[in-house]
Amino acid sequence: MTESEGADDGLTVVLVHGAFADASSWSVVIAQLLAAGLDVRAVANPLRGLAADARYVADLASEVQGRVLLVGHSYGGAVITNAAGQLANAVGLAFITAFALEEGESLTAIVEQFPDTLMGPALRQTVVRAENGDKAVELSIDQSQFPAVFAADVPATTAAVMAVSQRPIGLAGFTEASGEPAWRQLPSWFLVANNDQAIHVDAQRFMARRAGSHIAETAGSHAVMVSQPTAVADVILTAARTLRRKES
């Protein structure tokens, strides 16, 4: 990757993290994209429910001047799948070991079609009060199991910090059905992490093929943007270069 090779005036990369993470998980990827000359935004995904999160991301991305390449990790892939259809300026999608859902499909529904991973037994439920005062359920990963499930190839000290600082997701994020997927209209790229213990590799490959994505693979964990940021940045830069050629 060389200086400004990914530069594309008028194209902004919008990064959307998934469950059990936050925007800081993109830090090294962001540095590489900025060094390559790309404009970048990293969204703080609310993680409250698929429809609400998609609206939030769409509202933020609609304020970007020029074209937008939406990039989602994990649950963030489901969010961008739904957000892009609400945007006039979305021109591409990149899924980083992510959910590329079909219309009417939920995260729970797709994972049930494939072999179990370490994720299911590691999930913990917490009952909290919602804004309206009703009880709501949040999901998090048991801290002791977090490294194996989410960050097996991340240094142990970093994985431990990630486990403590993980952001929980509302149960609706797992159970709400997706709307019409934007990958039907937009070109997409997909990075498969074939040592992922959160989303089974067969599920990733299935969703990538179904979406007609340009597929790359790496031997990474679910937290591939932390452990292998260059592999992630390369997929995004490839997408940016392709979209630049299409525009010209």
- Find the range with the poorest average confidence among 72-81, 127-136, 155-164: 127-136
Q: Model confidence over 77-104: pLDDT tens digits?
A: 999 999 999 999 999 999 999 999 999 9
CATH number for the region 11-247 comes to: 3.40.50.1820
Output the pTM of the full model: 0.94
Count CB-CB contacts under 10 A for residue 151: 29
Range 189-212 average pLDDT: 98
pLDDT > 70? residue 7: no
In this prediction, residue 6 carries a pLDDT of 41
pLDDT > 90? residue 131: no
Range 114-141 average pLDDT: 93
pLDDT > 60? residue 2: no
* Distance, CA of 229 to CA of 17 (rounded, Å): 14
Range 196-219 average pLDDT: 98
Order across the sheet with 135-141: list the strands.
123-129, 135-141, 169-170
Q: Model confidence over 216-238: pLDDT tens digits?
A: 999 999 999 999 999 999 999 99
Range 128-149 average pLDDT: 92
Range 40-68 average pLDDT: 97
Domains in the chain: boundaries = 11-247
Local confidence band at 50 (pLDDT 50, 70, 90 cut-offs): very high
In this prediction, residue 248 carries a pLDDT of 58
